Amino acid sequence: MAKTTKKRRGPHPTAKVELDVPVRVGQTVEVEITGLNHEGAGVGRIEGYTLFVDGALAGERVHARVDHVKKNFGFAKLTEVIEASTHRFLPPCPLYDRCGGCSLQHLAYEEQLRHKQQIVRDNLRRIGGFQVEGEGAITVHPTLGMSDPWRYRNKAQVPIGEENGALVGGFYAEKSHSIIDMNECLIQHQVNDEAVAVVKQAATKLNITAYDEVRHSGLLRHVVVKVGVKTGEVMVVLVTTEEQIPQRDQLVEAICTQVAGVTSIVQNINPDKTNVIFGKKTVTLWGSDVIYDYIGPIKFAISARSFYQVNPAQTEVLYNKTLEYAGATGTETVIDAYCGIGTISLFLAQKSKHVYGVEIVPEAIADANRNAQLNGVENATFEAGPAEVVIPAWKEKGIRADVIVVDPPRKGCDEALLTTILEMQPERVVYVSCNPSTLARDLKVLAERYEVKEVQPVDMFPHTGHVESVAVLVRVSIVAQEPYK
């Protein structure tokens, strides 16, 4: 008889495996906070084990309840501040501790700006391997902030629900889909709050039902409001599950008569069971299909679904810095990869010989062409397609870029685009980033042939952990011939 050996079994798939860490879920611990992570949570250590504590600040000693543990780090909620930071700030928003929209209202604004500069520096050092201190280091400038960091958002996307027979609308509680009803949000333009309130009240009175994502029933899913800050024009978008809106005319009349500055009321139909806000079909119920706004001297048409920066004041700061770093004097050919609706391209066209913009979304290219026509810009060409395909095709046609500007999504540049840039060898690369970690990763690749000269963080989203930045890179052969200007 053959001898059989019994296989050693691992834990049952549903069994809870205890991790060998110095804290456990539900435990309240005392911890010293030594810094903040990129999302604004306090960073502390217990016996060398990293604990991220929501609501805690650097320099504080706190009590925190452990919510979740992993092998190398855990998460905890602040329960008591034993020793407070001198930079702790009383959040003016009464819903701050429940809403997931902001993460840094409890930190004084000047300190928020310092924190965001440090986040950029840390990522460049740890991920990119760059020197950020001492001789020969990359200059990371202090973060450019706002003189008044409130009421800056020109767009609200508010989910609608129902509570006690009335419609509610606000923002989701942190890490949930539970709607927190609110009458005002201190980082939203005041007109956004007023428009949402009008829709909630009118729709409740007209017995228009709210969408229930669990049952996949009801009509009104979201209210989206867009404001042209310079023009004062307002668009209200009703996102519904069906095209038919009961008592639609009365709802439209209520919005027209009660929302100051409204020039466009639009309906978007999204019947799908999805977390995506917009569906494919959009119809104009009243007024214009678009509203208009300006960033600096450039005028933009904004439709219900088109992307437009939510903080136009800081966008102008960011784009002016991009224009400065491009070093355009009127003789340069510039390529704008990830050009979107042409916002950066049209800024660059002011001081360039010609700008070529590429974007993978055809609808965005249509908007870019419309915005160029709107501003009488004739030295800009836009094409739809992947940048890593379109740019080499341009090169084959004899188009050679003096400057390439990239403004990728959070995941950073496509690897093939980075290879294309290295092959094209423009004199300068200007990298606009919304994610310091992917910025550092991509700059490390480009550093094969380029010297990263400086990085300018810009605070586009005060009171949140997000930071935008723009970096300028100069081709090494150019650096060797003449000093960077």
Is 359 assigned a ligand-binding role in the annotation? yes
DSSP three-state, residue 110: helix
User: How deeply is 10 buried, as exposed, middle or buried, from its count of CB atoms within 10 A (0-12, 13-18, 19+)?
Assistant: exposed
Q: Which of 99, 185, 413, 434 is catalytic?
A: 434
- Fold adopted by 155-295: OB fold (Dihydrolipoamide Acetyltransferase, E2P) (2.40.50)
Q: Is residue 96 left, alpha or beta, with left meaning phi > 0 and alpha meaning psi from -120 to 50?
A: alpha
In this predicted model, what pLDDT tens digit does every residue of 16-53 receive, in sequence order? Answer: 556 889 999 999 999 999 999 988 999 999 999 999 99
pLDDT at residue 478, as a whole number: 67
Cα–Cα dist 55/437, whole Å: 23
Question: Does residue 434 have an active-site annotation?
Answer: yes
Q: Which of 7-21, 191-205, 269-283, 450-464 shows the lowest mean pLDDT across its residues?
A: 7-21
pLDDT in tens, 53-97: 999 999 999 999 999 999 999 999 999 999 999 999 999 999 898
Q: What's the rounded Cα separation, in Å, for the pair 35 and 29?
A: 17
Tokens of 385: 């397609």
CA–CA separation, 64 and 76 (whole Å):
6
> Band of the pLDDT at 307, cuts 50, 70, 90?
confident
Which pLDDT belongs to residue 189? 97
Tell me whether residue 272 is annotated as binding: no
Give the pLDDT score at 99. Answer: 83
Task: Give 304's pLDDT tier (boundaries 50, 70, 90).
Answer: very high
As a whole number of Å, the CA-based R_g of the chain is 25
pLDDT score for 482 = 60
- The CATH number given to 28-83 is 2.40.50.140
pLDDT tens digits for 99-148?
878 999 999 999 999 999 999 999 999 999 999 998 889 999 999 999 99
Answer yes or no: same fold for 28-83 and 155-295.
yes
CB proximity list for 131: less than 8 A, separation 6 or greater? 125, 137, 138
The CA distance from 195 to 197, in Å, is 5
The encoded tokens of residue 48 equal: 């060398």
pLDDT at 173 over 90: no
Is 309 marked as binding a ligand?
Answer: yes
pLDDT band at 176 (very low <50, low <70, confident <90, very high): confident
Q: What is the pLDDT of residue 477?
A: 81
Position 100 scores a pLDDT of: 76
- Amino acid, single-letter form, for residue 381: T
User: What is the rounded CA–CA span in Å between residue 324 and residue 262?
Assistant: 36
pLDDT in tens, 262-286: 999 999 999 999 999 999 999 999 9
pLDDT for res 68? 94
pLDDT at 14: 47
Share of the chain above pLDDT 70, in %: 94
Q: How many CA atoms lie within 13 A of 85 on its CB side?
A: 21
Percentage, residues of the chain above pLDDT 90: 87
Please report, for the chain, the start and end positions of each structural domain, with discontinuous segments joined by +.
Answer: 28-83, 155-295, 311-481
* 311-481: CATH number: 3.40.50.150
Distance separating the N- and C-terminal Cα atoms of the chain: 85
Sign of the C-alpha dihedral computed for residues 275, 461, 235 and 305 taken in this order: negative
User: What does the pLDDT average to over 2-26?
Assistant: 62
* SS3 track for 321-363: HHHHHHCCCCCCEEEEECCCCCHHHHHHHCCCCEEEEEECCHH
**pLDDT of 387 above 70:** yes
Residue 416 clears pLDDT 80, i.e. is over it: yes
> Are 390 and 322 spatial neighbours (Cβ–Cβ below 8 Å)?
no
* Residue at 175: amino acid letter: K
Would you state the pLDDT for residue 480? 60
Q: Are 418 and 408 in contact (CB under 8 A)?
A: no
Torsion of CA 410, 294, 112, 147, to 10 degrees: 170
- From CA 480, how far away is CA 74, in angstroms rounded? 48
CA triple 144-145-149, angle to 5 deg: 165
